[in-house]
């Protein structure tokens, strides 16, 4: 999926030039001619990167002031500043305010593309590092070679490129999030965010704020998980625990890929693939009035069931050896050998 880049410059020809160069390279672009337009664009949806004119003539803020305002709203957004001849010192000062780099006008397209690539790659690595920390202790593969687990892998590979929504079912601990991450990594969205939201871990009061974000007086206060997943995949874990009121809001998101932040009234448009998971029987949840049937059919476009180990006992040796090797590596010892009797007992 294309990265969303916001170009902020008071000169129309610069905005058109930069937008054209980036569009030709497959990036998604939006433009703003002033600080007010730029902040409105941020409130509309957080971009992946901002290209900012350090001068901004005729604007309510100059580039440095706008940079500070941007960093208050989201410190993680990478910003590259444009500097005209004679204001290099100002551009250097922008680095001290949190900009990742600057480029002097007039510039070559190749130099611009290099800086954009470097900035977005740095941000991708930062997000990837945070994601890896969150996954410590979790397997990254569906280990095993049984018929059932091979069938799960085949389904994931078959639908990865389609964008279809998927509902993954199975008992706790069978690897539902692992399957969702594999689907994402095999899809055209692999270079965009994978955002996981566990309905079981959030109180009903906080769920909407975490999912949709918070807006106050028309200004973005906190970006939600949906917004952070723009261009990528949103994994809704333990979807049966989702508050009933939120279920209706998610249904509307699935219908038109837009939502309203808590405290706001504007429609925020996103491009997100939904993958959900549950350990519960949703048919029972529907019959007892705890889960919306219409939402179930929207989420369950491609159903995938991951069986428990009792249903794929032949995978146990592979799992034993996998985890024994991993734990041995962590403790820097040789992996143990398992006798036939020990494996039979397991």
- For residue range 84-110, list pLDDT tens digits in order: 765 677 777 888 888 988 888 888 899
Q: What is the DSSP string of 157-198?
A: HHHTTT---EEEE-STTS-HHHHHHHHHHTSTTTTS-EEEEE
pLDDT band at 326 (very low <50, low <70, confident <90, very high): confident
Which of 82-86, 194-198, 329-333 bottoms out in mean pLDDT, i.e. has the lowest? 82-86
Please say whether the beta carbons of 52 and 100 come within 8 A.
Answer: no
Please say whether the beta carbons of 251 and 292 come within 8 A.
Answer: yes
Token pair listed for 329:
């590596």
Instruction: Report whether pLDDT(137) > 50.
Output: no
Find, among 291, 281, 275, 297, the residue nearest to 170 by Cα. 281
pLDDT in tens, 281-317: 999 999 999 999 999 999 999 999 999 999 999 999 9
For residues 281 and 120, which has the higher predicted lDDT (pLDDT)? 281
pLDDT in tens, 238-253: 999 999 989 999 999 9
pLDDT band at 30 (very low <50, low <70, confident <90, very high): very high
- CA–CA dist 316, 219 (Å, integer): 53
Burial (Cβ within 10 Å: 0-12, 13-18, ≥19) of residue 341:
exposed
Instruction: Report whether pLDDT(271) > 60.
Output: yes
Alpha-carbon distance values, 314 to 148, 173, 309 (Å):
10, 17, 9
User: CB count, 10 Å around CB of 212?
Assistant: 25
Which of 54-58, 156-160, 278-282 bottoms out in mean pLDDT, i.e. has the lowest? 54-58
pLDDT at 126: 59
- Burial letters for 228-254: b for 16+ Cβ neighbours within 10 Å, e otherwise? bbbbbbbbbbbbbbbeeebbebbeebb
- CA–CA dist 156, 256 (Å, integer): 25
pTM, two decimal places: 0.72
pLDDT at 113: 92
Phi first, then psi: what are they for 194, rounded to 5°? -110, 115
pLDDT at 74: 84
């Amino acid at each position: 999926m294309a990265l969303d880049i916001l170009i902020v410059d008071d000169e129309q020809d610069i905005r058109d030039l930069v937008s054209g160069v980036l569009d030709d390279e497959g990036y998604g672009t939006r433009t703003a001619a002033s600080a007010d337009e730029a902040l409105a664009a941020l409130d509309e949806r957080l971009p992946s990167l901002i290209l900012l004119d350090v001068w901004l003539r005729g604007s309510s803020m100059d580039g440095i002031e706008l940079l500070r305002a941007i960093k208050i709203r989201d410190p993680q957004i990478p910003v590259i500043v444009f500097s005209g001849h004679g204001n290099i010192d100002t551009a250097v000062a922008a680095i001290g305010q949190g900009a990742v780099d600057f480029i002097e006008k007039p510039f070559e397209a190749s130099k611009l593309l290099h800086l954009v690539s470097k900035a977005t790659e740095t941000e991708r690595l930062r997000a990837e590092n945070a994601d890896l920390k969150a996954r410590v202790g979790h397997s990254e593969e569906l280990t095993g070679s049984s018929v059932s687990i091979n069938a799960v892998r085949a389904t994931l590979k078959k639908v990865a490129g389609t964008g279809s929504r998927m509902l993954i079912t199975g008992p706790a601990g069978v690897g539902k999030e692992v399957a969702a991450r594999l689907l994402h990594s095999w899809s055209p969205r692999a270079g965009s965010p994978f955002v996981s939201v566990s309905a079981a871990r959030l109180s009903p009061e906080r769920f909407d704020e975490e999912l949709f974000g918070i807006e106050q007086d028309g200004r973005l206060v906190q970006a939600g998980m949906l917004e952070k997943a723009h261009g990528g995949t949103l994994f809704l874990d333990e979807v049966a625990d989702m508050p009933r009121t939120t279920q209706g809001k998610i249904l509307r998101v699935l219908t038109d890929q837009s939502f309203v932040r808590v405290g706001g009234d504007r429609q925020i448009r996103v491009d997100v693939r939904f993958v959900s998971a549950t350990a519960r029987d949703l048919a029972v949840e529907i019959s007892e009035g705890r889960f919306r049937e219409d939402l179930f059919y929207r989420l369950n476009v491609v159903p995938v069931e991951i069986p428990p180990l009792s249903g794929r006992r032949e995978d146990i040796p592979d799992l034993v050896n996998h985890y024994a090797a991993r734990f041995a590596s962590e403790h820097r010892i040789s992996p143990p050998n398992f006798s036939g009797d020990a494996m039979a007992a397991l």
